[in-house]
Structures are given as structure tokens and as C-alpha cells.
């Protein structure tokens, strides 16, 4: 077998392998897409089932402690959602109010410069309060360490 025949065979094998890998990639991608679509359909049917069970429980046609517990949790979440949506509407309707221009001031009379300087005592680090849970945290905090709400 000549040198060129070996190179030709290696190139052919490389092309065959690349073709196989490309087809494999296409096949696995298609199958993943189909599996994801089926998962989405299952999730949709479960959500529909949950909605129907919730409605039947609220109508008194189903009596189950676990469903009652879930329905109560859903009611509480919906109540919180309504409050948050109202808060969001209020925040979205706020408008910036331009502060009035400061009145011109007269220059202050010249002051004497002290000969010695006593630095002021160090101030304690400032803090702020979380608007959701009331936790007191450092002013530099971006999230409440107690409840995780973004602050500031």
C-alpha cells in the first residue's frame, strides 16, 4: 500500500467519522426536542389537573387534608400576589418631582482657621432597615441577609 493510499484511507475514515458524528448530533438534538415537548405537555396537563382539583376543593366536592393544605397555600400566595401587583402599579405610576431651585445665598463672612485640628470621633457604621421583614443591616448591604429582598 502506497503512502498516498494510506492518506486517502485516513481522510475517508475522517470524513466518515465526521458524517457519523453530525448525524448523531442531529438525531440526539431532535430526540431532546421531542422529549422536551412531551415534558412541556405533561407539565401543562399537571397544571390543568391541579387547577381543576383546586376548583373542586373550593366548591366542596373534594375533601382531602393535603389538597386543603395546598389550596390554602395557593390562596395565601394569590393574596400576596395581588398586594405585590398593587405595589407595582403604585411604583410604576410615581413621577419624578423636580426640587425647587435653591435660593441664592450671600457669601459667609470669613472665618478664622484654627491652629490645631482635633478630628471628630469615628462614627459607627450606618445601618438600614429591610422594608419587608424589618431586619437591621449595614447600609452597604444590597440584599437583606434575613429574607433575601433587594434593598437600596
Report the b/e string of 17-54 with b at 16+ CB within 10 A. eeeeeeeeeeeeeeeeeeeeeeeeeeeeeeeeeeeebb
- pLDDT of 144: 87
- pLDDT of 124: 57
Q: Write out the DSSP string of 62-103.
A: ---HHHHHHHHHHHHHHHHHHHHHHHHHHHHH----PPPPPP
Pure H helices in 2-148:
3-58, 65-93
- pLDDT of 127: 85
pLDDT along the chain (152 residues), means of 10: 88 93 94 94 93 91 88 89 91 87 76 68 74 88 88 78
Amino acid at each position: 500500500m502506497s503512502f498516498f493510499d494510506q492518506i486517502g484511507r485516513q481522510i475517508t475514515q475522517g470524513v466518515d467519522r465526521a458524517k457519523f458524528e453530525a448525524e448523531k448530533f442531529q438525531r440526539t438534538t431532535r430526540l431532546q426536542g421531542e422529549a422536551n415537548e412531551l415534558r412541556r405537555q405533561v407539565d401543562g396537563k399537571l397544571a390543568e389537573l391541579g387547577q381543576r382539583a383546586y376548583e373542586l376543593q373550593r366548591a366542596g366536592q373534594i375533601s382531602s387534608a393535603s389538597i386543603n393544605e395546598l389550596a390554602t397555600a395557593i390562596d395565601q400566595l394569590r393574596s400576596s400576589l395581588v398586594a405585590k401587583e398593587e405595589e407595582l402599579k403604585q411604583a410604576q405610576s410615581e413621577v419624578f418631582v423636580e426640587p425647587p431651585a435653591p435660593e441664592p445665598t450671600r457669601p459667609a463672612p470669613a472665618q478664622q482657621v484654627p491652629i490645631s485640628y482635633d478630628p471628630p470621633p469615628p462614627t459607627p457604621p450606618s445601618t438600614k432597615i429591610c422594608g419587608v421583614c424589618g431586619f437591621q443591616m449595614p447600609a452597604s448591604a444590597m440584599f437583606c441577609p434575613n429574607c433575601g429582598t433587594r434593598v437600596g
